[in-house]
Amino acid sequence: MKSLKSILTLSFLFLTAISSFVCSDGLELKDFKEDVVKTVVVSPNGAANFKTIQDAIDYIPSGNKNWIKIILSPGIYNEKIVIPKEKQKIIMQGNNASEVIIQYNNDAGLSNASAVIVDAEYFAAINITFKNANCSKSTPIIPKEEVKVAPSIILMADKAWFYGCNFISVQDTLADKVGRHYFKNCYIEGAIDFIWGSGQSIYQNCVIHVRGLTSKGGEMLTGFITAQGRESEQDKSGFVFKNCVINGNGMASLGRAYRGYSRVLFYKTNMSNVIVAQGWDAWKHKGHEDKITYAEVKCTGEGANKEKRVKWEKNLPPKEIKFLIDPKTFIDEDGWMGSLPSSLVSLL
């Protein structure tokens, strides 16, 4: 047994060394060597350090204080992944989001129904598709009675960063529940409340795709892009969409108020005609619209026509707009984004 253990250890070290030559979408591992202390490789066919992503996560020591990189080889990873709070400073990277897919079929409720649950701070993902296979049919139009709560990822921790990732489901696709998060060059697809939670997040240069939703009789129904959960004037949370694109084959409101002080800003976003004329919905908070902060600034496209928008949509002062769209003031006041590995910082 001792001999076998030695062989396995040597094999692990060899594969780790080989992994330093892996490249992905313009980001090479040599770019990370000053910041990342260890790199491991996962492959669903077993030709790597680990066969499953969860095995790689479990390998990382509790209380980890150094950046560890997990390279995901191309393939479909059919597994449920949980990153516990004691496993901080993890980077998961694929070579191309269309070739690296983490998926799981689960509709077990908002707290658990997801392919990936992130409970740890300082998490980064690059070029990965997160998909909940439950009711994520390839057909563009989905009957509403078939739709279930099925997030692709649940973010339960502060300080998470995503670049070039896809998030695919129908209802509650991206559970941006707690903490400060930054999404850049990402693709988010769904029909009902598909970006939701009490997160304090900026979505920059992202594509938001609205899927079609129909009644039993085949009538096209209106969905909702956001359901943000800010709960008071002191609550710092909110969703900011900056230089994004909204398209799709369905119809949707820009958002409905998940909590009474919901806050969402679309800034310089191109909106196709999938956006309904009224734009926003107070949902359970009708009569208290003055506490909701929904705004659009310098948006373009057919769906950005504000002539028939709800009367209570806010006209924010320039100072507040500047505060919300700048990562340094809205989500990075303590400088956590600067502590990311240098090549990640260069992509901000």
- CATH number of the domain residue 86 falls in: 2.160.20.10
In a domain, 205, yes or no: no
In a domain, 156, yes or no: yes
Tell me how far apart the alpha carbons of residues 141 and 180 are, in angstroms, rounded to a whole number. Answer: 33
285-332 pLDDT, tens digit each: 999 999 999 999 999 999 999 999 999 999 999 999 999 999 999 999
Q: Is 55 a catalytic residue?
A: no
In a domain, 48, yes or no: yes
- Does residue 318 sit in helix, strand or coil? helix
185-206 pLDDT, tens digit each: 999 999 999 999 999 999 999 9
pLDDT of residue 13: 38
Query: Which of 193, 235, 281, 334 is flagged as catalytic?
Result: 193
Residue 71 tokens read as 């390279």
Query: Which of 35, 158, 172, 281 is flagged as catalytic?
Result: 172
Q: What is the DSSP code string of 171-211?
A: BS-EEE-SSEEEEES-EEEESEEEEEES-EEEEES-EEEEP
In a domain, 333, yes or no: no
When comparing pLDDT for 73 and 8, which is higher?
73
Q: Do strands 141-143 and 116-118 pair parallel, antiparallel, or not at all (unpaired)? A: unpaired
In a domain, 237, yes or no: no
pLDDT of residue 105: 78
Segment among 14-23, 70-79, 159-168, 205-214 with least mean pLDDT: 14-23
18-34 average pLDDT score: 39
**CB-hemisphere CA count at 13 Å for 3?**
0
Tell me how far apart the alpha carbons of residues 64 and 12 are, in angstroms, rounded to a whole number. Answer: 19
Can you say whether the dihedral through the CA atoms of 213, 283, 303, 179 is positive or negative? negative
- Residue 294 to residues 130, 239, 263: CA-CA distances in angstroms? 28, 10, 6
Number of domains in the chain: 1
Q: Which among 96, 112, 102 has a CA at the least distance from the CA of 77?
A: 102
Tell me how far apart the alpha carbons of residues 36 and 22 are, in angstroms, rounded to a whole number. Answer: 14
Is residue 218 exposed (0-12), middle (13-18) or buried (19+ Cβ within 10 Å)?
exposed
Domain encompassing residue 106: 1-190
Ranges of beta strands (E only) in 73-229 are 75-78, 81-83, 90-94, 100-104, 116-118, 123-126, 129-132, 141-143, 153-155, 160-163, 166-168, 174-176, 180-184, 187-190, 192-197, 200-204, 207-210, 212-214, 222-228
Q: Is 193 a catalytic residue?
A: yes
Which residues partner with 188 through β-bridges? Answer: 167, 208
Whether residue 34 has pLDDT greater than 60: no
Tell me how far apart the alpha carbons of residues 167 and 197 are, in angstroms, rounded to a whole number. Answer: 15
Tell me how far apart the alpha carbons of residues 221 and 46 are, in angstroms, rounded to a whole number. Answer: 45
Find tokens 């990075």 and name the residue: 332
- Does residue 241 sit in helix, strand or coil? strand
Spatial neighbors of 147 by CB under 8 A, at least 6 apart, are 135, 170, 171, 191, 192, 213
Rg (CA), the chain: 21
In a domain, 295, yes or no: no
Band of the pLDDT at 213, cuts 50, 70, 90? very high
Tell me how far apart the alpha carbons of residues 299 and 266 are, in angstroms, rounded to a whole number. Answer: 7
pLDDT of residue 24: 36
In a domain, 136, yes or no: yes
CA 64 from chain centre, in angstroms, equals 23
Q: Which among 266, 279, 272, 268 has a CA at the least distance from the CA of 303?
A: 272
pLDDT of residue 217: 87
In a domain, 141, yes or no: yes
272-287 pLDDT, tens digit each: 999 999 999 999 999 9
100-145 pLDDT, tens digit each: 999 987 665 555 667 899 999 999 999 999 998 766 555 678 888 8
pLDDT of residue 137: 55
Find tokens 């340094």 and name the residue: 328
